[in-house]
Amino acid sequence: MAASTLAPARPARVGWVTWTLLVVGVLGASVSAILIRYAQEAHPLAISFWRCAAGAVVLVPFGRKGFSQMRPQGWLLPAVAGVFLAAHFATWITSLELTSVANSVLLVTTAPMFVAVAARFLLKEHMKAAVWAGIVLSFAGTALIAGSSGTVGPSSLVGDALALVGAATVAGYALAGQVARRKLGIIEYAVITYGVGAMVLLIVSLVAGVQLFAFSLDTWVAIAAIVIGPQMLGHTMLNYVVKDIDATTVYVAAMAEPPIAIGLAYLLFEEAPSVLVYPGGIAILIGIFMVSRARRQPPELVE
């Protein structure tokens, strides 16, 4: 009798924990753009470097066993993903200095469009009509947003372009990771990609003469918050819950990130989106939903 009464409670508890972790992941990822704004004393390359380097250092102790069992060729694809990740952080974080939070977070969210197109032409993946329709709708929204104006002044076309490059490079990261993770655990994959990304960003920063250390305490706190929040509690949680909740549901939940970030930017920085951002953003999010649902293989999010 006792066993029969206790049996139903276990699934309910596991379900509650999983959904809670999903909410934590979405909220953690949603504050990325806001925390980056608070760390603007640091160069975008410096923020990108510390985000990758700290993420790798935190995870290294958990992947020791996996690394000892890896073959040399197993490092190649994660390393390629790390190069794409470095390019993603460098371009997207820079975009936040040149354009509004609304434009930046909505444009970088178009990553699934680039993944779908690349999968079609590079991996010869068959694309349903719904995927093509979602791509067209999403890029129509992108056209509306690009160059729109907000309360902070005319939106920089360079910033908008960098956000789109950030979307394209995270698509490269996702495609490389999709293949690499067939034989590689999430911890080992993350350590290699973060580590390679950090090395690439370190080299570029040194060549460009970017300051990596002399920051105020407030900036260091913001950088630490970026690592703890968006990096560890954000996307780590989203990747973790995929084993219990299907990837499409997780990605659709993650679509709450842009509205949350835009709302916080308005409350904290009085940064109101322009009129065109609303229909453009809705078109992008609907397009992403269509593509994600049709492909059932949405990419990782790394904002």
Look up tokens 């504050």; give the residue: 31
What mean pLDDT is predicted for residues 18-44? 92
Do residues 227 and 51 lie in contact, with contact meaning Cβ atoms separated by under 8 Å? yes
Q: Cite the DSSP H helix spans in 99-241.
A: 101-108, 111-122, 129-145, 157-180, 186-208, 217-226, 236-241
pLDDT of residue 294: 81
Give CA–CA dist 95/159, Å, rounded: 4
Do residues 113 and 291 lie in contact, with contact meaning Cβ atoms separated by under 8 Å? yes
Provide, rounded to the nearest whole percent, the portion of the chain with pLDDT above 90: 47
pLDDT of residue 66: 65
Do residues 300 and 25 lie in contact, with contact meaning Cβ atoms separated by under 8 Å? no
Tokens of 137: 């709708």
pLDDT above 80 (res 106): yes
φ and ψ of 212, to 5 deg: -110, -10
Domain ranges of the chain: 36-295
φ and ψ of 159, to 5 deg: -65, -40
If pLDDT is split at 50, 70 and 90, which confidence band does 5 have?
very low
* CA-based nearest residue to 281, from 100, 95, 106, 32: 106
Tokens of 170: 């995270």
